[in-house]
Amino acid sequence: MTQIKPSFQSLAFFLALSLSVGAQAVITIEVTKGVESAIPIAIVPFAGGTQAAAMPVDVAQVVNADLAGSGRFNTLASADLPSQPHRFAEIQFDDWRRLGMENLVIGTLAPTASGDYAIEFRIVDTFRATQLAGYQIVSPPDDLRLAAHRIADRIYELLTGEPGAFATRISYVQVAKDTGGRAVYQLQLADADGYNPKTLLESADPILSPAWSPDGRKLAYVSFEGKNLTVYVQHIATGDREAVAAGPGINSAPAWSPDGGRLAMTLSKDGNPEIYALTLAGRRWQRLTDDPAIDTEPAWSPDGRRIAFTSDRGGTPQVYQVAANGGRPERITLGMGPYNARPSFSHDGRLMALVHAEGGSYRIAVLELGSRDLRVLTDSRLDESPSFAPNGAMIIYATVGARGTELAAISVDGTVRQRLATSRGEVREPAWGPLRRW
Amino acid sequence: MRAQRTHYSRAFLYAIAVHILALVLVVFNLPFETLYKPPASHKEVMQAVVVDRSVLEKELNRSRTAGRREQEEERQKKMEQQRREAEKERGHAVAAQKQREEDEKARLEKEKQQVSALEKQVQEEKRLAEQKRKREQEKKRLEEERKRVAQQAKQEEEKKRQEIQQREQEKKRLEEKKRKQEEQQRRENEERKRKQEEQKRQQEEARKEALLAELAAEEAEQQQQADAERVNDAIARISAKLARYFNKAGLPSGLVCKVRVRTVLSGDVISAQVVESSGNTMFDRQCEIATQKASPLPVPAEQRLFETYFREVDIRFNPWE
């Protein structure tokens, strides 16, 4: 992605302001509060982008959906756009100001001689009539959605100061039926919005708990192949895999250390599910918990020093944490209801997503670790497997909707929830992959 | 003097009378004796006779004037001649004359007696005349005295009158002076009074003004207080409105930025310009945007307050309370 130098500077409207500074004492009004509301942005369909025959993807529409789905943006439906400018000079700033749309995205999309597409887009400040940023991306036709996600990431980062996580991938397990009516388990890889799913592994036996390596190249998962729970690590690109834990009993719930050198998981090789850490290089095991109750679902903290897990040692499932090198676990979810499980750290370690059950409903909640403030985000009944987006802005999870199980993403403030586009069938255990390096 | 003249003229008259008598005697040749029959009252004649001849002569001589004197003399000569002729004739009858002289003698004696009596009488007359003269003199003196006195009185009166006049004039002058003084005084009084009144009026005015000023000050203070309240109220409302439009989403915390805002009376923001940057472009930008979006700002509706305080304001965004 190459940056376009702003070709339009401040217009007369704002230049005139410099003359207004008076000599006399001016009272100062203090504004000590503000609001945290969605950032207004209008994304105008790119020139050439709406010609469906020529363009397989409506790039602007993808960007719009990404930004809107994040909960951080207040977008404008294309029907509500006052006009559809494609170049800076065509912008009627007052129209956008009236709508309170301080941010406007315009762009063009044109095929290149090599058969790719050249996408140019600008982010414009309508109140100051200036260009905030402008970029050009060249994308093969097949990757236009990805290009759109990358555009959304740019916009997101520019306006929120945080990296976007739209051009990332998710992995999940889909349960389909074969022609004979038997269940077929598929390990799926898809764009973060659920598009472009690819099957990495298909099995007649259940597949569970996919987990992304921090570099995004490998997936660890559990397979019940051979009627034995086995933890595999599979290279995404090549499909090569190896079993890393295949002992007797339970081998499940793998979780990568942030440096990618270790895997935490649940093993019952010693008679009772406990948390172990496997150092991949050299295959050394370390037992981290020792309790007659069930300890499972480990999650590594972003700093790599702690491992959170679910345990019912207190009578009901609650979240505990233990030092990455073992020690005395401490309970995290104290006084937060009878059921808190399946912890997942945000990228900054500030938040923890978990499944919170109360009155028979299992819902996704976010615990702010510093303040111990637990916020329930969803209001459905059977939510499971929350996984933070790598920028901490959203949480993907599985839920039961009107058409069966499905994947959903919710903004971390709970304001925006979107259902991911997945094919029909049962979907489980989504895992949000890391940011990609481009 | 006049008495003297009277005296002379009377003597003159006597002389004339004698002459006329003589003339008559001559002309008509009447016997003197017959002629001399003093009437019942011939006092005057006697008087005329008594008048001394010298005086008469003198008078006669004196009366002979110029041509007439010679004529008279002539005539008298003639008369003398005639008389002497007549006497000559009479000598014829001296015998008779003797008798008559006897008679005449007796008569002369008688006449002498008479003359003596007359002289006495004349003396008496003289005395009386002297007395009278003296009386006259006295009278005259008295008269003169009287006149003098009168004159004096008159003079005195005149003097007095003059004095009176002077006094009156003086009085008048004094009165005039007094009047003038009074007038002056009056004018001065009036002037003073006027000045006093003016002063009083000015004082009153000043007092009123002071009072008004005090009232105005009080009013101004109240106004100021009211203004302050309204200004503060407007500031609070503007701050609150800006806070509603300031979107912190996506902005790093802890930043502060000052924006200078120009508005019009409607509160509409004409311009918003960062005067103190936070150092973060996106934060500065949001400050400007919030200001524009919050337009119109709830500035006071009163133009005076607006002009004084709100046409241009600085807004300090520090939304991290």
Residues of A within 8 A of B310 (CB-CB) are 27
The structural domain count of chain B equals: 2
Question: What pLDDT is stored for residue B53 in this prediction?
Answer: 65
**Does residue B165 fall inside a structural domain?**
no
B39 in the same domain as B141: yes
Count CA atoms within 13 Å of residue A115 on its CB side.
Answer: 4
Average pLDDT (A28-51) is 86
B263 in the same domain as B144: no
Last residue of a domain, one of B94, B120, B153: B153
A237 in the same domain as A337: yes
Task: Return the residue in B232, B246, B306 with the most chain A beta carbons within 10 A, the one to mutate for interface testing.
Answer: B246
Quote the domain boundaries for residue A225: 169-432
Last residue of a domain, one of A104, A132, A160: A160
B250 in the same domain as B147: no
The partner residues of B271 in beta bridges, in order of sequence, read B262
Question: Are A35 and B243 inside 8 Å of each other by CB?
Answer: yes
Residues of B within 8 A of A127 (CB-CB) are 285, 288-289, 292-293
**Does residue B185 fall inside a structural domain?**
no
A417 in the same domain as A294: yes
B265 in the same domain as B141: no
Which of A16, A33, A158 is the closest to B271 by Cβ? A16
Question: Are A34 and B239 inside 8 Å of each other by CB?
Answer: no
**Does residue A227 fall inside a structural domain?**
yes
Question: What pLDDT is stored for residue B25 in this prediction?
Answer: 66
**Does residue A375 fall inside a structural domain?**
yes
Q: Which tokens sit at A195?
A: 């598009």
**Does residue B229 fall inside a structural domain?**
no
**Does residue B22 fall inside a structural domain?**
yes
Question: Are B239 and A35 inside 8 Å of each other by CB?
Answer: no
**Does residue B53 fall inside a structural domain?**
yes
Longest C-alpha distance within chain A, in Å?
A: 86
Structural element, H or E, at residue A351: strand A351-358
Last residue of a domain, one of A160, A194, A223: A160
Count CA atoms within 13 Å of residue B193 on its CB side.
Answer: 6
**Does residue B103 fall inside a structural domain?**
yes
Question: What pLDDT is stored for residue A251 in this prediction?
Answer: 92
Q: Please tell me the least confidently modeled range out of A125-134, A245-254, A329-338, B40-49.
A: B40-49
Q: In this structure, what CATH number is given to the domain that contains residue A95?
A: 3.40.50.10070
Last residue of a domain, one of A160, A180, A200: A160
- How does pLDDT run across A324-343, given as a tens digit for each residue? 998 999 999 999 999 999 99
Percent of chain A with pLDDT over 90: 70
The structural domain count of chain A equals: 2
- In sequence order, the 6+-apart residues with CB closer than 8 A to the CB of B91 are B97
Q: In this structure, what CATH number is given to the domain that contains residue B268?
A: 3.30.1150.10
A201 in the same domain as A111: no
- In sequence order, the 6+-apart residues with CB closer than 8 A to the CB of A317 are A310, A311, A339, A340, A341
Residues of A within 8 A of B239 (CB-CB) are 29-32
Burial B144-162 (b: 16+ CB within 10 A, else e): eeeeeeeeeeeeeeeeeee
Question: Are A161 and B252 inside 8 Å of each other by CB?
Answer: yes
Last residue of a domain, one of B103, B128, B153: B153
> Residue A12: is its pLDDT beyond 50?
no
Question: What pLDDT is stored for residue B42 in this prediction?
Answer: 47
- In sequence order, the 6+-apart residues with CB closer than 8 A to the CB of A105 are A41, A42, A43, A44, A60, A63, A121, A122, A123, A124, A155
ipTM for the assembly: 0.78
Last residue of a domain, one of B107, B125, B153: B153
**Does residue A194 fall inside a structural domain?**
yes
Which of A14, A21, A127 is the closest to B289 by Cβ? A127
**Does residue B219 fall inside a structural domain?**
no
**Does residue B143 fall inside a structural domain?**
yes
**Does residue A20 fall inside a structural domain?**
no
* CA distance, residue B271 to nearest chain A CA (Å): 6
Question: Are A26 and B317 inside 8 Å of each other by CB?
Answer: no
> Residue A52: is its pLDDT beyond 50?
no
Question: What pLDDT is stored for residue A217 in this prediction?
Answer: 94
A328 in the same domain as A251: yes
The partner residues of A427 in beta bridges, in order of sequence, read A174
Question: What pLDDT is stored for residue A383 in this prediction?
Answer: 94
A242 in the same domain as A341: yes
Scan for tokens 């920028």, then name that residue.
A391
A174 in the same domain as A156: no
Average pLDDT (A360-378) is 94
pLDDT tens across the length of chain B (321 residues): 444 555 666 777 777 777 777 776 666 665 555 545 555 544 444 455 555 666 666 666 666 566 676 777 788 888 888 888 887 877 777 777 777 777 778 877 887 787 777 777 777 877 787 788 787 788 887 888 878 787 888 888 888 888 888 888 888 888 888 888 888 888 888 888 888 888 888 888 888 888 888 888 888 888 888 888 888 899 999 999 999 999 998 888 899 999 999 999 999 999 999 999 999 999 999 999 999 999 999 999 889 889 988 999 999 999 987
Task: Return the residue in B231, B232, B251, B311 with the most chain A beta carbons within 10 A, the one to mutate for interface testing.
Answer: B251
**Higher confidence at residue A277 or residue B156?**
A277
A222 in the same domain as A138: no
A381 in the same domain as A242: yes
Q: Does A180 touch chain B (CB under 8 A)?
A: no
**Does residue A437 fall inside a structural domain?**
no
Which of A14, A18, A29 is the closest to B235 by Cβ? A29
Q: Which tokens sit at A45?
A: 């369909």
* CA distance, residue B299 to nearest chain A CA (Å): 12
Question: What pLDDT is stored for residue A319 in this prediction?
Answer: 96
**Does residue A74 fall inside a structural domain?**
yes
Question: Are A32 and B314 inside 8 Å of each other by CB?
Answer: no
Contact (CB, 8 A) for A294 and A311: yes
Question: Are A161 and B318 inside 8 Å of each other by CB?
Answer: no
- pLDDT confidence of A14, banded at 50, 70, 90? very low
Q: If you average pLDDT over every residue of chain A, what do you get?
A: 88
Question: What pLDDT is stored for residue A18 in this prediction?
Answer: 30
Q: Which tokens sit at B126?
A: 């003289």
Average pLDDT (A276-299) is 93
- pLDDT confidence of A3, banded at 50, 70, 90? low
Question: What pLDDT is stored for residue A420 in this prediction?
Answer: 86
Question: Are A33 and B313 inside 8 Å of each other by CB?
Answer: no
Output the CA torsion A225→A229→A233→A238 (10° steps).
Answer: 10
- pLDDT confidence of A318, banded at 50, 70, 90? very high
Q: In this structure, what CATH number is given to the domain that contains residue A208?
A: 2.120.10.30
Distance CA B294, CA B267 (A): 10
**Does residue A193 fall inside a structural domain?**
yes
Question: What pLDDT is stored for residue B57 in this prediction?
Answer: 65
Contact (CB, 8 A) for A427 and A407: yes
**Higher confidence at residue A388 or residue A176?**
A388
Task: Return the residue in B232, B268, B278, B288 with the most chain A beta carbons within 10 A, the one to mutate for interface testing.
Answer: B288
Q: Does B297 touch chain A (CB under 8 A)?
A: no
Q: Does A23 touch chain B (CB under 8 A)?
A: no
A291 in the same domain as A184: yes
Percent of chain A with pLDDT over 70: 92
B141 in the same domain as B34: yes
Count CA atoms within 13 Å of residue B229 on its CB side.
Answer: 5
**Does residue A25 fall inside a structural domain?**
no
Question: What pLDDT is stored for residue B32 in this prediction?
Answer: 52
Q: Please give the DSSP secondary-structure letter assigned to residue A214.
A: T
B149 in the same domain as B250: no
A130 in the same domain as A178: no
How many other C-beta atoms lie within 10 A of the C-beta of residue B321? Answer: 9
A268 in the same domain as A393: yes
CA separation, residue A18 to residues A94, B271, B286 (Å): 21, 9, 18
Question: Are B243 and A32 inside 8 Å of each other by CB?
Answer: yes
Quote the domain boundaries for residue B22: 2-153
A393 in the same domain as A309: yes
